[in-house]
Amino acid sequence: MSSAPLRAESLTLAYDARVVAEGLSVDIPEGAFTAIVGPNACGKSTLLRALVRMLKPKAGSVLLDGVEISSLPTKQVARRLGLLPQSSIAPDGITVVDLVARGRHPYQRLLRQWSQEDERAVGEAMAATHIEEIAGRLVDELSGGQRQRVWIAMALAQETPLLLLDEPITFLDIAHQVEIMDLCAKLHVEGRTLVAVLHDLNHACRYATHLIAMRDGSIVAEGPPSEIVDADLVERVFGLKCLVVPCPATGAPMVVPAA
């Protein structure tokens, strides 16, 4: 029996009649920073949506700590899984601190409203993402990189051991991409299990400790980037002829498209 805290078994995933994946099984290693990569429309985000039960599988199971996730109460799942969705839209007129505080919703009950514990969790989440100085600003006035930090802070305020991020650096410039990826790496080092859907293979190789490469709804390869990423894999997954060389800064595999 796998000890993975989050796993999928023989999933069939579909949107209405359009089947995206069949017989898809995967384990999310505990304590790892897992990156899911692959070409557009290969099923990366669909798999992530199934793992957080935003998409109900047509067949198969998603297990959280060995229990079928669909059988668990919503708040119990929310105390185990934090999610940064692909498109996050803040309510009009909400401030940074109020949005981050929404991460404490799983802990609110009829007889337990806002507490010192909630205050501590929000403060620590904002400190970890370096957004204390913009606490009173409106979210819709922020830059893209700042907004991503706020959404990550909200997920951190949930204090979940598992954090899943769907394309967290899409639409950001290169400096903000590195800023967000550095933050994710820091959270991983501090003990969280991370899963991120990424488009940039070089970012995935540089930051992730475990890679899941997908194409056409299937897993082509998985394992540490240094062990599985080579020119053959990149061509099989992305259809790109390339060289794979060690990154001068980190030694991680770096993809250089063929001239």
Residue 211 sits in the same domain as residue 253: yes
Do residues 111 and 132 share a domain?
yes
Question: Structurally, how many domains does the chain consist of?
Answer: 2
Name the pLDDT band for 90 (thresholds 50, 70, 90).
Answer: confident
Containing structural domain, residue 120: 91-159
Per-residue pLDDT, 86: 79
Q: What pTM was estimated for this model as a whole?
A: 0.90
Estimate to the nearest angstrom the gap between the alpha carbon of 94 and the chain centroid: 24
Kindly state whether residues 56 and 173 are assigned to the same domain. yes
Residues 178 and 152 in one domain: no
Which residue, 159, 182, 205, sits at the end of a domain? Answer: 159
**pLDDT average, residue stretch 44-57:** 94
In a shared domain, residues 222 and 247: yes
Q: Name which of 54-58, 170-174, 177-181 the model is least confident about.
A: 170-174
Q: What pLDDT is stored for residue 1 in this prediction?
A: 39
pLDDT at 214 > cutoff 90: yes
**Residue 218, beta-bridge partner list:** 215
User: Is residue 104 a part of any domain in this protein?
Assistant: yes
Residues 118 and 48 in one domain: no
Contact criterion met (CB below 8 Å) for 159 and 78: no
Residues 175, 227 within the same domain: yes
29 and 150 housed in the same domain:
no
Provide the pLDDT for residue 113: 77
Could you tell me the two tokens for 223?
A: 């394992």
- Decide: helix, strand or coil at residue 251: coil
Residue 143 resides in a domain: yes
Task: Enumerate helices (H) and strands (E) in the chain, giving the number of each.
Answer: 9, 12
Confidence of residue 3 (pLDDT cuts 50, 70, 90): low
Q: Which residue has the higher pLDDT, 169 or 36?
A: 36
Beta pairing class for 210-215 and 33-37: parallel
